Amino acid sequence: MGKLDNWIDNKIVQNLFIWVFLFIIFTMVIQAENRLLASLLFIAFIAPPVYINNLKILPLFFNKKVKLAVVLFLLNVCFFSFLVVAFLSNGFKRFELKMLLNAFGALLLILIFGIALKLAKESFTRRQQEKEAELKLLKAQLNPHFLFNTLNNLYGLSVIKSDKLPNLMLKLSDLLRYSLYETSTIFVPLEKEIKYLENYIALERIRLEDKADIIFEVSGAIESLKIAPMLCIVFVENAFKHLGVLENGKSSVSVKIVVNSNEIYFSCTNTVEVFQIESSYQLEKGKSGIGLQNAKKRLALLYPNKHQLRIEKTESLYCVTLKLDQ
């Protein structure tokens, strides 16, 4: 989180901004010889009832103490209305009922405005907290999903006592180090994510040897861009998991990342056998593809209206293309 975000989230700064904004409005509206002084005095009168209402009375409504809250709300408005009138009429020496009604109405509108701001802020904060909680849950589901797939690979190699097992475990160690220690933030440098994909694909190359043509290409200026961690790995994992052998006995996986200005283009294509098309469709619909479901949810949360995901299937290919706008 940057300094600007810290300032925006600071409650003191938020309150000061609102009061400064109101002060400017009052200096333009109030008709008096000394507009600045009159505006300051007006704010000094309305600030206490606003904070009393928002901090002490409003919570009573949410705690189902409605009658008490209504009584205290009216007492709050009446007390400060009398206080304003007493000040303006020099201790009620020039008191008029119209003054009291005007003060009561004005203060009532101000308190309603303060309540609206308070509720809007709390609603926004609650949505942000729900969004962060859902992202944490999706990450928690994503890491075990990846680990489960990789451990299956390790088990297969251990059964046949393959010499590739030690190198495979080193690659896995690098992958787990990244997923455990470097994905705590919402976004990570694109360079690190690409390195993570490199390690994973290198791991698959060791496992598959010459059984498949594996292509991994990166182009463009990647240094200054960021991306949601472990976003693309879901599609790469699925490509290797559902990799099919064609009639000529050859299979292939192609992963490409292209950076153009502030846009990231990702594509992942793998060969599939004919009977796998239906299973791939079911994976996309969500019967077994936990990782794919999570990827779509994370895209909706982190890149609203800033991403394009396309999944295409032919008789022999399964292709995923993703465009991210920064």
pLDDT in tens, 146-156: 567 667 767 77
| Total structural domains within the chain | 2
Q: Does residue 203 sit within a domain?
A: yes
Alpha-carbon gap, residue 81 to 108, rounded angstroms: 9
Alpha-carbon gap, residue 34 to 89, rounded angstroms: 18
Residue 135's contacts (CB-CB under 8 Å, 6 or more residues apart) are 186, 298, 301, 302
CATH code for position 297: 3.30.565.10
Alpha-carbon gap, residue 223 to 1, rounded angstroms: 19
Write down how long the chain is: 326
Residues 121 and 199 in one domain: no
Q: What is the mean pLDDT of the chain?
A: 79
User: What confidence tens digit (pLDDT) does each residue in 62-107 have?
Assistant: 777 888 888 898 898 888 888 877 776 665 566 667 777 877 888 8
Q: What is the DSSP letter of 10?
A: -
Residues 172 and 321 in one domain: yes
Residues 319 and 174 in one domain: yes
Q: Does residue 54 sit within a domain?
A: yes
Q: What is the maximum span of the chain, computed from C-alpha positions, in angstroms? A: 103
Residues 102 and 20 in one domain: yes
Q: Does residue 300 sit within a domain?
A: yes
CB 299 within 8 A of CB 309: yes
Domain that holds residue 186: 163-325
Residues 305 and 182 in one domain: yes
How crowded is residue 76: how many other Cβ atoms within 10 Å of its Cβ?
A: 19
Confirm whether pTM is higher than 0.75.
Answer: no
Residues 167 and 313 in one domain: yes
How crowded is residue 120: how many other Cβ atoms within 10 Å of its Cβ?
A: 10
Asked if pLDDT for residue 14 goes beyond 60, the answer is: yes
Residues 178 and 321 in one domain: yes
